[in-house]
Structure 1
């Protein structure tokens, strides 16, 4: 029964994706709308910095702040072998 459900879900996902691709029309992106005023394009370095480095830096900053400002008390416990001998 699991194979049948997985096959049904895969077919539904593939069909939905195919319909979305067919319904979107990238050819219309070439025609300009009224009031459309695009700016200058980004270079490769600017694109990588904006979409890769900035999110990674933000993630690192948030992670660092959480680690530094963590107020939980961590208990140092002895290993199991040391407890058994004592």
Structure 2
């Protein structure tokens, strides 16, 4: 019974992937649409700064603000009371 379900799931994934590949046509990406106004290409340093350094810096700023503005004064974990055996 499990083999039948696995075969069905594999066929579904393969069919979906095939349909997505057939429906996308990268050749049409070479033709410009009306209103396209591409800018200057980014260099390596600009690309790394925009897609790597900027998100890490933004994460660090948000995490820092959360840590600084956290008002809870009880940071140490509370010890569980010991159970006494009778």
- Per the normalisation by structure 2, the TM-score is 0.70
Unaligned 5+ runs, structure 1 = none
- Per the normalisation by structure 1, the TM-score is 0.70
The aligned length equals 82
CA shift in 2, pair 1:70/1:40, >3 Å: same
Partner of 1:34: 34
Unaligned 5+ runs, structure 2 = none
Higher helix content, 1 or 2:
1
1:31-70 correspondence runs (5 A): 31-70=31-70
1:7-22 correspondence runs (5 A): 8-9=8-9, 11-22=11-22
